[in-house]
Structure 1
Amino acid sequence: MNFPIIHTNFWDAVIAIPIIMIITQLIKIIYHTPSKFVPTIALFFGLLISIFISHRHDLLAGIFMGWFYGYAAVGNYAALKSAFISYRNSGK
């Protein structure tokens, strides 16, 4: 079995991940979505962006990279939130 050749570039990650973070936060604010559903929403939008925009000619590559886009957005949000909380509490 041959693995797919996945061509991605720097701009996919620089654009896709922040867009997913923004979309998930907007959905959370507008629809009052519980936090436990946010990773699933991020994964969904990561798959949509990857399959239909970034890797529209290769479904397997789109699914593979969409998984990374979605969970990279979740990880970045968690890291930013932890850093912000740590910074805010360091002054006390």
Structure 2
Amino acid sequence: MLTEFPVIHTNVWDAMWGVPVVLVVVLIVKWIFKLPPSWLSTIATVVALALSVFISHPKNWSAGIFMGFFYSGAAMGIIYSTKQSYYAYRKR
């Protein structure tokens, strides 16, 4: 029976590189391919899961998947909060 949460060890990759790398890749893909905003979260999730599962946590699937969704959510939060802050500043 699965009663315990997985142990997720964070490292320097998680703290300093995971979210910024996802953020930069998503912005580059957005600018190069001129994607509509509705595709950004999908691209962020795919990139973040790939980075997390294959680079950051290659030996721990549950940690890789969890941290991949964390990277994706954090990167998209930065993009959308910056966009809304810009709109609020322009409106003022």
Which whole-Å CA distance do the structure 2 matches of 1:47 and 1:64 have between them? 9
Which residue of the partner structure matches residue 82 of structure 1? Answer: 84
Higher mean C-alpha deviation, range 5-14 or range 49-58: 5-14
| Matched AA of 1:24 | V
Which residue of the partner structure matches residue 14 of structure 1? Answer: 16
Shift of 1:14: 3.1
Which whole-Å CA distance do the structure 1 matches of 2:89 and 2:45 have between them? 28
Would you say the 8 A contact 2:13–2:56 is kept in 1? no
Gaps of 5+ in 2: none
Identity over the aligned pairs, expressed in percent? Answer: 40
Give the TM-score normalised by the residue count of structure 1: 0.86
Q: Deviations over 1:11-66 (max 9, x none)?
A: 51432112111111111111121211110100011101111111111011101110
